[in-house]
Amino acid sequence: MSNRNPYVPSRATILEVIQETKSDTQDVKTFKLKLDEPFDFRPGQFVEFSVAGVGECTFGFASSPLIKDHLELTIKRTGYVTDNIHMLSEGSTVWIRGPFGNTFPLEEMEGNDLFYVTGGLGLAPLRPMIDYVFDPAYRGKYGKINMLMAARTPGDFIFAYDFDKWSKMPDTSLYQTIDNPVEGWDKLVGFPHTLIDQIPFDKEKTIAILCGPPVMIKALSNAFVQFGMSPERIYTTLEMRMTCGIGKCGKCNIGHKYVCIDGPVFSMAELSEMPNEY
């Protein structure tokens, strides 16, 4: 760790703004950023992203860690800061500090099948891992890959432009599901935890990686455990209200664990020992 003051952000410039969702709300955008002082990060980590004069927010990385010249953040418009972020256009100056948090245990996962289950925006923090594993240099180290993506409506899928590429990867199955039936939709319908028994996977060899709203994570992990998977093999990445990202501000603790330094990646085995307050 460098001597740099972890509170001081460095400058970044927005290269491109991508409108992600095509539904009526259109409330998710991906921001492609160029950093003045680039840094390396690992899948699972997050940054503190701020607009000067507006405020700071926490976001997980949404691009592959192997891309070195820029990074991407996928942001949903939900509050004061994100409203203002959504008004930014190409060339705007923003500020970034990070990376913070722990990472997915990629090395420990080698040799296993992977099963990603995501809900809505939950796909974004998993994208660094998905892209990392799909990279030809690392793909051989992992077995079969299942992906189950959930969204409210067909227009609410983020990174839809990548789905085609991902589904054509070797030994990979990609499933999409929406909450309620819609005319013209020929893929799955229903909440992810009701669907995992329809998807063939080897519960002894698979590691499940979940990300989505807290309700979905709770329901899904129960479903996986009932299905016979061991809690050590289920990983999730949690979200919490955060201010500092370095374990000082006292906001993101679950018991004595701080999501910003001990997390955000936890296995279900770890979570079951923590107080149920997330």
Would you count residue 5 as binding another protein (CB under 8 A)?
A: yes
Cα distances (angstroms) measured from residue 275 to each of 227, 243, 254, 257: 24, 21, 6, 10
Binding mask 41-80 for another protein (x = CB under 8 A): ---------x-xxxxxx--------------------xxx
Among 213, 226, 230, 232, binds another protein (CB under 8 A): 213
Q: What count of other Cβ atoms lies within 10 Å of the Cβ of residue 194?
A: 14
Binding segment toward another protein, per CB under 8 A, in 127-135, 146-154, 201-209, 234-242: 234-242
User: Does the footprint of another protein cover residue 27 (CB under 8 A)?
Assistant: no
Site size toward another protein (CB under 8 A) is 45
Residue 25 binds another protein, judged by CB under 8 A: no
Nearer to another protein by C-beta: 98 or 142?
98
Q: Which parts of the chain are beta strand (E)?
A: 10-19, 28-35, 46-51, 55-60, 71-76, 93-100, 113-119, 145-151, 172-178, 188-189, 206-211, 234-237, 253-254, 257-258, 265-267
- What is the rounded CA–CA span in Å between residue 79 and residue 155? 21
Name residues contacting another protein, limited to 80-109 (CB under 8 A).
80, 82, 93, 95
Based on the shown chain and the rule CB under 8 A, indicate whether residue 38 belongs to the binding site for another protein.
no
Comparison of 119 and 192: residue with beta carbon closer to another protein: 119
Residue 52: CB minimum distance to another protein, A: 4
Structure tokens at 162: 């990548």
Among the candidate windows 124-132, 137-145, 156-164, 248-256, which touches another protein by CB under 8 A? 248-256
Binding flag, residue 278, another protein (CB under 8 A): yes
Residue 23 or 50: which CB sits closer to another protein? 50
- Tell me how far CA of residue 97 lies from CA of 11, 65, 82, 85, 242, in angstroms: 9, 16, 17, 16, 13
Distance (Å) of CA 140 to CA 20, 115, 132, 133: 30, 16, 12, 9
> Given its phi and psi angles, is residue 120 left (phi above 0), alpha (psi -120 to 50 degrees) or beta?
left
Contacts of 32 (CB under 8 A, 6+ apart): 14, 15, 16, 17, 18, 63, 70, 71, 72
Distances (CA, A) of 47 to 39, 61, 74, 215, 245: 11, 7, 12, 24, 8
x-marked contacts with another protein along 177-206 as a string, rule CB under 8 A: ------------------------------
Among 171, 197, 241, 269, binds another protein (CB under 8 A): 241
State in angstroms the smallest separation of the CB of 51 from another protein: 8
Please select the residue that binds another protein; options are 135, 214, 226, 232, rule is CB under 8 A: 214
Tell me phi and psi for residue 124, to 5 degrees. -60, -55
Q: Which of residues 250-269 bind another protein (CB under 8 A)?
A: 250-251, 253-256, 261
Contacts with another protein, residue ranges (CB under 8 A):
1, 5-11, 50, 52-57, 78-80, 82, 93, 95, 213-214, 239-241, 243-244, 246-251, 253-256, 261, 273-278
